[in-house]
Amino acid sequence: MKIKDIHKIDTFLNEQPVTYEDFQKISAEKYRHVASFALWPQNYDGHDAAFLTKARCENDKDGKRSRTYFNDNLSGNLHKNVILLGLNFGARSDKKYSLENLLRQDMVNQYRGRSGSAYHGYGPIKFDYLDEQTHYNFKKLISGAYMTDLFKWDKNQINNSNNIPKPNGISTKTGNELMKYLNSDLPNVLNQNIIGLKDELETLGLDTDKHFVVFLLGRSFVAKKGNYSIIDRLKDAFPTAYIGDDFLYHYSARYFDEQKFQNHNIPVFQKYAEKIIDWY
């Protein structure tokens, strides 16, 4: 990746910024419990959950306060064309993370720590392992990305692509448990959830006729089940997206150190950055 080409990443990110109107649509009732953005305030400790939700207009009669907050804190920092895709919107056995409680959450991903330190070490990606100088462009690429999960609808919940219900999640603790639960139903349930994901990205305002990138968070995306894999189906469903052949480590504070991050995730970021540069 040549230094003279770095500006092309900015060009890409600036093509599909999240507007105030986009934010209101994706943070409305249907997706607010599963949708979020990889943007945290400075010195985030895992507790300022209102950092994003203050920009919602539903409790702001004339919209002035929420729009001002959005313009001051979020405008230009959120991007529709970079997606961080987790495997499933699920739940753990403890009450705090039960499915019932998660369904009441507001932009649930926002509750997880930027450095992986909040909530017993769980975090979407260890941003602090991306050095500001050495990995500046990788950090910029995922900062403000849209965050969601693939499997959010259980078996037979989507029967009509024109009438997508509110996602209720599939309550499994791990990706392995999810795969065992789906078993032979995987192709059908995956197809239903891809239909749902398309609706979600349309709600976000993403123009899928243009290039965008999807980072896959977790090994299960690339695992083969016979001759079938999730990643192949995603590539078929989103032909204008770059979906790399490898995954990013996700949820890993207890089993994960900085060296492992550098060895695995940095080359993945490198491939995505090079692909974006190739587009321009």
Q: Give the start-to-end residue ranges of the domains of the chain.
A: 3-49+76-279
Q: How many helices (H) and strands (E) does the chain have?
A: 11, 7
Residues 18-45 pLDDT 10s: 999 999 999 887 888 888 888 876 665 5
Residue reference for tokens 């749902």: 196
Q: Which pLDDT tens digit goes with each residue over 44-78?
A: 555 555 677 778 787 677 778 899 999 998 999 99
Average predicted confidence (pLDDT) for the chain: 79
Nearest to 140 by CA among 4, 2, 13, 278: 13
Backbone phi, then psi, for 39, in 5-degree steps? Answer: -140, 125
Q: Are 121 and 254 in contact (CB under 8 A)?
A: yes
Nearest to 13 by CA among 197, 199, 139, 150: 139
pTM: 0.86
**27 within 8 A of 56, measured Cβ to Cβ:** yes
How far lies 7's CA from each of 97, 142, 246, in Å? Answer: 41, 15, 25
pLDDT digits (tens, 9 = 90+) for 201-249: 999 999 999 999 999 988 888 887 767 789 999 999 999 999 999 888 7
